[in-house]
Amino acid sequence: MRPGGQPNFKQLMKLQRQLAAAQAELAEAEVTGTAGGGLVAVTVSGTGEYKSVKIDPKAVDPDDVEALEDLVLAALHNAAESVRKLTEEKMGPLTGGLGGLPF
């Protein structure tokens, strides 16, 4: 850092490369959220794109569709939380000291 806490150009370029690498890692990563002990599984990319939904036939009860809906929603929430954690892990160390400045 230069006097006054301002980063220099080389530091900014290095940070930009690190951010681009972290974003590329996130784009390639996939996480799976589950619910009901694995009866429902949702796979999501590291950028939040839903890739697949798997439902075990044991989870399908025509008399209790609401339970299946709850399991799907819980798996979606679980997957979204996993993406949030992965993003924080990959991007947090790089963006933590920037005070919210977009690059």
Residue 94 confidence (pLDDT): 72
Distance CA 12, CA 16 (A): 6
Residue 11 confidence (pLDDT): 81
Return the CATH number at 47: 3.30.1310.10
Which residues of the chain, if any, have pLDDT below 70? 1-7, 95-103
Strand ranges (E), the chain: 30-35, 40-45, 50-55
Query: If DSSP codes are grouped into helix, strand and coil, which group holds residue 5?
Result: helix
Burial of 18 (0-12, 13-18, 19+ CB in 10 A): middle
The range of the structural domain enclosing residue 25 comes to: 6-95
Domain assignment of residue 36, yes or no: yes
H or E element in which residue 87 lies: helix 65-95
| Total domain count, the chain | 1
Residue 10 confidence (pLDDT): 84
